[in-house]
Chains A and B, each alone.
Chain A
Amino acid sequence: MGVNLEVNIAGIKLANPILTASGCFGYGEEAADFFDLDKLGGIVAKSITPLPRIGHPPPKVVETSCGMLNAIGLTNVGLDKFISDKLPYLRKCKCAVIVNIAGATVDDYALMAERISSQEGVDAIEVNISCPNVESGGMEFGATAEGASKVIGAVKKVCRVPVIAKLSPNVTNIIAIAKAVEDAGADVVSLINTLVGTAIDIDTKQFKLSNKFGGLSGPAIKPVALGMVYKTASNVNIPVIGLGGISSGNDVIEFMLAGASAVQIGTACFAEPAIFLRVINEITDYLESHKVNDINQIIGAVGKN
């Protein structure tokens, strides 16, 4: 039995719902040493800022129970170098290419969305209004409906491809933020980014991260992510991309049942760079054994018989 894995997100056809999560897959080329990138639903590139950023000093990461904290601080090559050095490689990939942008001001976001979306081979822009690791911008915008709406509104005005708003879980009411970005014109929302946390070395009595705080990711956050994806998908009319702790086909199915039209895998690919292929096989097996011939049938199907 052939199973249809193709999904459509704001007009972008994905061969399957498996995307890489921004910040966990570099600019694509690193993983080509391990598997054929064309097998992916899409690649979401690492956040780009207007100027290159070295990010925070080491230590930038801490391993925690079933998860990890990172305070990378948006290390990236900057807009110009991304366009000249990194995008040509991504453009050659047959899967969808989504470029993630981050900025310190509303103007930063608009400037980058305009320049990147006018490049050939960019299928969508994901707007990072949820990075917990930068001194200004990032999560500051994503923390309020007003801030989120301002950034997405400005981006939408100039962006020539669909806009995905990447939401922060560090808020009191995810539905209000999701609705605000929908009203501001977002074509898609993706969630969740990392949860703010810290870790302390009890021998040295120092924070384990140079930045004190970092973003928690990995299986530890999956239930939180799943809950927020369900709440959001039930309350907005735009597609939802789910992420947060996904490391198996079963996890993907859970997120899609909760209402996600596609998913991103991040932290789990660190230990297993070719995890995407395993997960695609696992979701195919699930659909076949449950006699579902089109993956779209399970999107948002939780609780419905």
Chain B
Amino acid sequence: MKFSGLTTIEEKTQLTDRIFALQLSCPEIASIAKPGQFVQLKLTDHDAHLWPRPFSIHQAKDGIIKLTIKICGAITNKLSRLNKGDNVHITGPLGSRFNIPTQWKPVYLVAGGVGLPPLHFLCETMLNNGCPAKYIHFLSGARCSDELFADREIKSLGVNYILTTDDGSAGIKGFITKPLDEKIAEFKNADTNQKPIIYGCGPIPMLKKVAAICSGFECYVSLEQLMPCGWGVCNGCAVKIVNSNNTVVEDERGFRLARVCKEGPVFKSSEILWE
């Protein structure tokens, strides 16, 4: 069973000017959540916006779900004003998960901005499952040093870590896709079983670039989209897909749609029709 109902904020932490973390008490979700999955949050006292808002699960343990949220509109702004003890309506865990390899091999986790949380969750899960830290390459991109919110935590995991910022105020200057491109180029002629797996989450232009760089590799991306329901019934979040049977519907012309909330948010990068 999944859970849909009220949950209580156990802790709120301001991480940067515009990014904060909520720890929510929800054993029903925390006990079954997997990296890549998300929850839908809805404010209890706000009816002007009908839709809940989706957030990737950053961490799930000991009955607590951690979400890391960037203020980017009216709802996230209101969420940022909630405090310990306040209630919020939660539904989850929703969507597909990152496919974790059965035999350890190099993996590249490519995060853009607040696309980092599900990859952090994936990284910790793989380490807990016994993946040697040397196999994990965490590539994290941010706009500037003021928007870093998990730098220390990632470093403390002991994995390979590359940080970029658009303005060079921390790490390497530029987009995270540049170091990714250099790393992946080293594997172009490698045998299939030597090739790394790539996982990406971040803004669409970044994911599009990741998909292009990793063409021919096993590469997964997690898409972000506003969704009226999040549990597969409204079809509002559907995206066009290709080369895949991972579909909700195919019509007589052979066009296919997949729901970001149900077949996704994690897709193979080769399945997405990048427009």
Q: Footprint of B on A, CB under 8 Å?
A: 23-26, 30-31, 33-35, 46, 51-55, 57-58, 60-61, 63, 65-68, 70, 72, 75-77, 218-219, 267-274
Contact = CB atoms under 8 A, between A and B. Distances in A.
B112 interface: no
A60 B91 CA distance: 22
Contact of A60 (B4, B229, B238, B256): B238
Contacts of A33: 1-2, 231
Main secondary structure, interface of A, reads loop
A53 B251 contact: yes
A271 B233 contact: no
B44 to A, nearest CB: 11
B244 to A, nearest CB: 14
A60 B252 contact: no
B42 interface: yes
Contacts of A51: 251-252
Contacts of A67: 50
Given A52-B250, A54-B249, A72-B236, A273 B50 contact: no
Given A54-B257, A75-B257, A70 B233 contact: no
Interface of B: 1-5, 40, 42, 47-52, 89, 91, 226, 228-240, 248-253, 255-257, 262
B236 A61 contact: yes
Contacts, number: 115
B257 A55 contact: yes
B51 A63 contact: yes
Contact of B240 (A35, A46, A57, A272): A57
Closest 3 CB pairs of A and B: A61-B236, A270-B229, A54-B251
B252 A30 contact: no
B94 to A, nearest CB: 9
Given A63-B51, A271-B51, A34 B231 contact: yes
Given A24-B233, A53-B249, A58-B239, A218 B50 contact: yes
Given A30-B232, A66-B47, 10 more contacts: A25-B233, A26-B233, A34-B2, A51-B252, A55-B238, A60-B235, A65-B48, A75-B235, A271-B51, A273-B229
B252 to A, nearest CB: 5
Given A52-B249, A70-B236, A271-B89, A34 B1 contact: yes
Contacts of A65: 48
A24 B4 CA distance: 17
Contacts of A34: 1-4, 91, 231
Nearest to A273: B4
B199 to A, nearest CB: 24
Contacts of A63: 49-51, 226, 228
A162 to B, nearest CB: 25
Nearest to B239: A58
B50 A58 contact: no
Given A63-B51, A68-B50, A218-B50, A270 B228 contact: yes
Given A55-B257, A66-B48, A218-B50, A270 B233 contact: yes
A274 B40 CA distance: 14
A60 B236 CA distance: 5
A30 B248 CA distance: 12
B231 A54 contact: no
Contacts of B47: 66, 219
B30 to A, nearest CB: 16
B205 to A, nearest CB: 16
A268 B50 CA distance: 8
A23 B226 CA distance: 18
A272 B1 CA distance: 15
14 contacts: A46-B233, A53-B249, A54-B256, A55-B257, A60-B236, A61-B234, A63-B51, A63-B226, A68-B50, A68-B51, A75-B249, A218-B50, A267-B50, A270-B229
A76 B51 contact: no
B178 to A, nearest CB: 29
Contacts of B234: 23-24, 61, 70, 72, 270
A213 to B, nearest CB: 15
Nearest to A278: B5
A66 B89 CA distance: 18
Contact of B51 (A26, A270, A273): A270
Contacts of A270: 50-52, 228-230, 233-234
Given A52-B249, A54-B255, A66-B50, A273 B231 contact: yes
A224 B238 CA distance: 30
A209 to B, nearest CB: 11
A299 B49 CA distance: 31
- The interface centre, meaning the residue of A23, A51, A52, A219 with most chain B CB atoms within 10 A of its CB, is A52
A52 B252 contact: yes
Contacts of B5: 274
